Structure 1
Amino acid sequence: MTEIDESTGIWRTIREAPTPVKALLVGVFVNKLGWFLQVFLVLFLTTSKGFTPVQAGTALGVYGAGSVIGLIIGGSLSDRVGPRAAVMISMFGMAGFVLAIAYVPSYAAIVVVVALAGAVGQFYRPASAALLTELTPKNRQVMIFAVYRLAMNLGTTAAPLIGAALVAVSWNLLFIGEAAAALAYAAVAIVALPKREKPAAAETSAEEVAAEPKGSYLAVLRDHKYVLFLICMFLNAAIYMQYLAVLPLHMNADGFSTWWYSAMVALNGFIVITCELLVTKYVQHKAARTIAMTGFVLLGGGLAFYALPGGLAIFVIGTLLWTLAEIIAGPTMFAYPGMAARKPLLGRYVGSAHAMFGLGSALGPFLGVWVWNSVGTQVWLWCGVLGAVGLVLAYFGMAPAPEPIDETTPVLEGGQHA
């Protein structure tokens, strides 16, 4: 039986985390409690503004595209001005743009503001992840990212209920509520997050300056192993999103009501919220590559399981399998960019990973529905094939670096690049 390192336990990790880390966890939870725009945008534009469903869907797509761009910009911004400033810029900007959506007069103006809200509102994510990486000991990084994911999931789960209550009073109150949540996170950043320290010129040798990676995403792309990991993130998201895109179509075609589909989604959410930290306690010190490969086996296999005949039991078992993939591999996959990054490019490494996951989340539903309309349930077999591709990419892209590892560094750090 594997001995558990108590120094990386759940409560000890939280209790001994630096104050800025605790502030980030609280800040992102509060911010996600006000995560209303993406959930209610289509309803707002159709019921309150009188636009067509096509126009509303287009605006939502523009929001998603803006979010991907914002993740890329956010990584660069974090490297240039520091995580604290990036979070503040993101939250103040988001508050302003969200409020503007309720008052701009035309559809074209709404689309522009929605795009800006989607972009600016994502600046904080690479910055927050970079700061978690910088301030957390290496042997606790996977656990702290699991806690971070829990804070996001709890806030995201509660947000639609809060938003529905606000909409019952006024649509304007919904936007005021999201702006208030963003300002609350900005206040946390001002009070609790550390300012960026600029080293004195005398402390940095000419050789060190020359050796530093230059401030460009091209420097990230020259890390060829990391590029393979970025493709892994894209595939992971594209496959994962089929539970929102194709699964309801499949269950409906098999004669199951919307209630049964909702039960599958609720089953996933319940297991992730209640079990991810406990599972992370056991897997956090395994090699990152091993955990990612295990995740792809369970994710691709779980979705491919839906292709089997057998009724409701098949849907339940398949959902349990890919949910297990999420709770085993999720924290490691999102902690890995900080392990692989060269410090001057930490924000860009993190931002590129989040952007690829966001791109997969945006394109995955469209591609999945297209394949479903073409070949029906065989779409799940293609998910299995893509899971196998992700496994191979993880094997080569997250291979341990050749240089020796310090004895105090956990096995998980084996995935770190030079």
Structure 2
Amino acid sequence: MSVDGLRRAARGAVSGMPREFWWLWTSTLVNRLGAFVATFMALYLTLDRGYSASYAGLVASLHGLGGVISSLGAGVMADRLGRRPTMLIAQVSTALSVAVLGFMENPVAIAGVAFVVGMASNASRPAVQAMMADIVPAKDRVRAFSLNYWAINLGFAVSSTGAGFIAEYSYRIGFLVEALLTLCCAAVVFLKVPESRPDRAPVASASGGRAAGPAGIRLTDVLRDGRFMGVVGLSFLVALITQQGYVGLPVAMGADGLTSSDFGTAIAVNGLLIVVLQIPLSRFIESRDPRQLLIVSTLFLGYGFGLTAFAGSVAAYALTVCVWTLGEIVNAPTQSGLVVKLSPAQGRGRYQGVYTMSWSVAGLVAPLMSGVVIDNWGASWLWMACALLGTATTLGYWLLMRDLSAVAEQGDRVVETGDAAVRATAAEPSARSDAGDEQPQPQIQPQPQPQA
């Protein structure tokens, strides 16, 4: 595709979205621009505070465990209290806990506050995903999730670079900067993002479940939704594979005699490709059969990591990163769109909470998986396991989605009327409060930054 073709594709990818979506997108970008704790926690504890690597691993595990727990609770809150209050509570709590973490001295206190930070920082995700599904028409949702995923990766790439310079001066300043930017994110939500939770909308599970009233979707109903839980299980496998790019890959490259800067060079390809290709490819993704996209993208993920077994140089590792990154670019928005199709409108918070939990659990399991496999059998077996997991996940998508198209279309017709009413209600206060404001536009062609 030529440069002009990419420019036209990018322009088409960002057109036609509601104003409320762009404010939500802006809050996501601001939030990710301040991502400091998750990136530099291990270096802060080992280099700045002098703790052992095992203690740093314990703190990272507690941070991840907090995210696992909050996923379910935040999903319930998003349905009961609303998307907007849940995001505000989560973001303000994140800002306060991150600021406090920067001043903790006692190792027990550090571990405890890190657990709270993990809970708070993960709590807004189900609400954000549910609100995005509320305010964006069904035909544009995959594109919306693609744009949001692009904002997450762009923000993380920029923050990783900037935070590295801040860390050389003062880690504590890094914590305070993240707290400040998280408060800015909350301010954007408070001032510009209206509530979108449906009050009275037809409720019918797109996977064929029974209809229910406004209060009829419970967490147990989500867990009994067999098709959706199948998607959650496959999502866990996808996340388990993807996480190896950040836990298994640096260890394997180190075993080959490569340095941390070599790993940074290789993994930077991931962020670069996402920033450059995610938006231009979003139109292509939304117009294709999700079953085919999920099957092909999972093969790219699994076998992209499988090819790592044959890598021995920085260039070879970077090439494998290119392969699995292409799978990631296609899989992430397509899978998010599938979750929305399977989620009743009034239960989207709970459904998104369970889906988010699959990624949080994978974040806990992936380091253990890589460590055990590499220590006992070597890195080549880890990459072979990724290829086998990719194959199993591909087969799972093929079996699960054989009759999904007709079911999902039926579910879309059931909830679309209610969604339209939700979007109309959300747009009214926004139109009054934003009179004269210009719609914030995303940066379509940013200067790519390496992703740490």
Name the TM-score, length of structure 1 as normaliser. Answer: 0.87
**Partner of residue 250 from structure 1, selected from 249, 252, 266:** 252
* 1:378 matched to 2:381: yes
Match of 2:29 in 1: 29
SS state of the match for residue 309, structure 2?
coil
Question: Residues 193-212 of structure 1 correspond to what in structure 2 (within 5 A)?
Answer: 193-195=193-195, 199=199, 211=213
Counterparts of 1:367 and 1:60, CA distance in 2? 15
Deviations 1:16-56 (A, max 9, x none): 32222111111111111111111222333344444333223
Q: Which amino acid in the other structure matches residue 242 of structure 1?
A: Q
- Say which structure, 1 or 2, has more relative contact order (CA 8 Å, 6+ apart): 2
Inter-CA distance 146–387: structure 2 relative to 1 (3 Å threshold): same
Match of 2:61 in 1: 61
Kindly indicate whether the alpha-carbon contact (under 8 Å) linking 1:304 and 1:380 is maintained by their aligned counterparts in 2. yes
Deviations 1:135-155 (A, max 9, x none): 111111111111101111111
SS state of the match for residue 320, structure 1?
helix
Match of 2:182 in 1: 182
Kindly indicate whether the alpha-carbon contact (under 8 Å) linking 2:101 and 2:110 is maintained by their aligned counterparts in 1. yes
Q: Please, which runs of 5 or more residues in structure 2 have no aligned partner?
A: 1-7, 204-209, 414-452
Q: Which amino acid in the other structure matches residue 121 of structure 1?
A: S
**Partner of residue 267 from structure 2, selected from 265, 268, 276:** 265
Match of 2:277 in 1: 275
Counterparts of 1:312 and 1:50, CA distance in 2? 31
Match of 2:146 in 1: 146
Counterparts of 1:51 and 1:291, CA distance in 2? 44
Deviations 1:204-243 (A, max 9, x none): 9xxx995457343221121111111111111011111222
**Partner of residue 405 from structure 1, selected from 404, 409, 415:** 409
Match of 1:80 in 2: 80
Kindly indicate whether the alpha-carbon contact (under 8 Å) linking 1:13 and 1:140 is maintained by their aligned counterparts in 2. no
Q: Please, which runs of 5 or more residues in structure 1 have no aligned partner?
A: 1-7, 410-418
Kindly indicate whether the alpha-carbon contact (under 8 Å) linking 2:33 and 2:155 is maintained by their aligned counterparts in 1. yes
Match of 1:394 in 2: 397
Match of 2:434 in 1: none
Q: CA deviation at 1:332?
A: 0.7
Moved more, 319-328 or 96-105: 96-105
Moved more, 78-87 or 50-59: 50-59
SS state of the match for residue 214, structure 1?
coil
SS state of the match for residue 194, structure 1?
coil
Q: CA deviation at 1:184?
A: 0.6
Counterparts of 1:279 and 1:171, CA distance in 2? 37
Counterparts of 2:137 and 2:212, CA distance in 1? 28
SS state of the match for residue 310, structure 2?
coil
Moved more, 222-231 or 211-220: 211-220
SS state of the match for residue 35, structure 1?
coil
Q: CA deviation at 1:89?
A: 0.4
Aligned-residue RMSD, C-alpha: 2.7
Counterparts of 1:106 and 1:52, CA distance in 2? 14
Q: CA deviation at 1:96?
A: 1.1
Counterparts of 2:248 and 2:320, CA distance in 1? 13
* 1:160 matched to 2:192: no
Kindly indicate whether the alpha-carbon contact (under 8 Å) linking 2:341 and 2:408 is maintained by their aligned counterparts in 1. no
Inter-CA distance 106–212: structure 2 relative to 1 (3 Å threshold): same
Counterparts of 1:237 and 1:338, CA distance in 2? 18
Match of 2:362 in 1: 360
**Partner of residue 325 from structure 2, selected from 315, 318, 323:** 323
Q: Which amino acid in the other structure matches residue 62 of structure 1?
A: L
Kindly indicate whether the alpha-carbon contact (under 8 Å) linking 2:95 and 2:178 is maintained by their aligned counterparts in 1. yes
Give the paired residue count.
397
Q: Which amino acid in the other structure matches residue 275 of structure 1?
A: L
Inter-CA distance 373–209: structure 2 relative to 1 (3 Å threshold): closer
Q: Which amino acid in the other structure matches residue 52 of structure 1?
A: S
Kindly indicate whether the alpha-carbon contact (under 8 Å) linking 2:311 and 2:317 is maintained by their aligned counterparts in 1. no
Inter-CA distance 111–254: structure 2 relative to 1 (3 Å threshold): closer
Inter-CA distance 36–258: structure 2 relative to 1 (3 Å threshold): closer
Inter-CA distance 307–53: structure 2 relative to 1 (3 Å threshold): closer
SS state of the match for residue 123, structure 1?
helix
SS state of the match for residue 409, structure 2?
coil
Inter-CA distance 244–199: structure 2 relative to 1 (3 Å threshold): closer
Kindly indicate whether the alpha-carbon contact (under 8 Å) linking 1:75 and 1:349 is maintained by their aligned counterparts in 2. yes
Deviations 1:188-207 (A, max 9, x none): 11111113567489x99xxx
Kindly indicate whether the alpha-carbon contact (under 8 Å) linking 1:238 and 1:365 is maintained by their aligned counterparts in 2. no
**Partner of residue 214 from structure 1, selected from 202, 213, 216:** 216
Counterparts of 2:258 and 2:169, CA distance in 1? 34
Counterparts of 2:66 and 2:289, CA distance in 1? 34
Inter-CA distance 394–173: structure 2 relative to 1 (3 Å threshold): same
Counterparts of 1:367 and 1:129, CA distance in 2? 29
Counterparts of 1:311 and 1:160, CA distance in 2? 24
Inter-CA distance 383–77: structure 2 relative to 1 (3 Å threshold): same
Moved more, 30-39 or 330-339: 330-339
Inter-CA distance 378–293: structure 2 relative to 1 (3 Å threshold): same
The percentage of counterpart residues that share the same residue type is: 24
Deviations 1:70-129 (A, max 9, x none): 222221111111111111001111111111113345222221111111101111111111
SS state of the match for residue 405, structure 1?
helix
Match of 2:352 in 1: 350
Deviations 1:146-199 (A, max 9, x none): 110111111111112322333344333222211111111111111111135674
SS state of the match for residue 288, structure 2?
coil
Inter-CA distance 163–127: structure 2 relative to 1 (3 Å threshold): same
Kindly indicate whether the alpha-carbon contact (under 8 Å) linking 1:229 and 1:398 is maintained by their aligned counterparts in 2. no
Counterparts of 1:372 and 1:327, CA distance in 2? 27
Counterparts of 1:251 and 1:210, CA distance in 2? 52
Counterparts of 1:200 and 1:170, CA distance in 2? 50
